[in-house]
Structure 1
């Protein structure tokens, strides 16, 4: 029996980033409403992880969001998510105290953040470490 993949894993978009025509992500596939109506699709999970990391960096650099809570509140609004549980999960995965500032330009911090988001968005799915590491590396270039 084959394992049923979550939407994020199927789309190689483990952060479930919404498709927006203005975003020209590296490795983003052309939209195909017969396959996916809302979310972006990528050619590889590494490019999907790269996009996830780039969005997080934008939150930090452009919007000045410095805590897990601030970043996750923007990433996963409470209208669609249990944001408090999401924040706790990311804080636990990154060994971050509630309210502490994070620096997403640090590869280990970014990797912990991305891993926690992927786990939360994809029903506990875990990518091989090499895939995660390469996606984070691409995000931080």
Structure 2
């Protein structure tokens, strides 16, 4: 049985901040998402998902319907995602041998844990749930 994270409800003010940030850069790095998380008081992992969903929605809306539109869209610059440097990425998470042992044991017992299991595991070893999920 898969248990999902409950849907995040954003306030109007939070959405204004997120939309403004998205308009400036639809592919923000970890540092920017962390800054937004502190500014609007939402977990960085939830902000990451919001950006993924927003990008997906925008790509569906921009899909060309005709051949000439397709040719015209191919002339544009490459998306930022492909040219983005590694500077914007999250730092690699380092684990202690104790944390790795706990993670490995949990994986052997259940390779597809639900959100509750991941949250408990994250709490037990002292890392964010998003890192346990990865």
* TM-score calculated relative to the size of structure 1: 0.28
